Structures are given as C-alpha cells and as structure tokens.
Amino acid sequence: MSKLTEAKNAVIAFLKEHVKSRETTIIKLEKSGDRWEITAEVYEDDSFLKSMNLPPKKTRVFYEIRLDSELEVTGYKRMGDNDS
C-alpha cells in the first residue's frame, strides 16, 4: 500500500472515531517534508437542530488534519467559512 493511501486511511479512521463522521471525502492530501497536510469534507448532524430536538439535517464542514512521518495525527481543526 502506498504512503498516500495509508495517510488517507489514517485520516478517515481518525475522523470516524473523533468526529463521528460517516461520510468523509479527502479533498486535499499533500506531503511537505516529513509532514502531511490533509483537508477533508465531512457531513455532520447540524448541532443547532440537534440541540433543539428537531429532525436531523446533515451539514457540510471541512477539517484540516496534520500527520507526522509515522502517519500519526499531530493536529486538526474545523475550518470556518473563511478558511475553506
């Protein structure tokens, strides 16, 4: 398996576990030196509707994830409207 595929799979597994995403699309995967920078598109339940006990609706959000050379997640953040 290529490192590219391994990096993609590591990010998808991380998001499934920590963000509880079921639908994830990798839209950017780039290696810079020993680091990987990945941008993922994720569909999550709308937190506002959820807090109001209304029927769920999926909302598209983007996450930026950083991996080290061993493909361990070293950081991630949910990107705001101005970041994407």
Per-domain boundaries in the chain: 3-79
Nearest to 45 by CA among 57, 55, 54: 57
Q: What is the pLDDT of residues 15-28, one digit of tens each?
A: 999 887 778 999 99
**Is the domain 3-79 a CATH 3.10.20 member?**
no
Is pLDDT at 84 greater than 60 in this prediction?
no
Containing 75, the helix (H) or strand (E) segment is strand 73-79
Q: How far is CA 51 from CA 19, 43, 45, in A?
A: 17, 17, 10
Q: What is the pLDDT of residues 25-69, one digit of tens each?
A: 999 999 999 999 999 999 988 878 878 888 888 889 999 999 999
Nearest to 41 by CA among 21, 60, 55: 60
The confidence score (pLDDT) of residue 81 equals 55
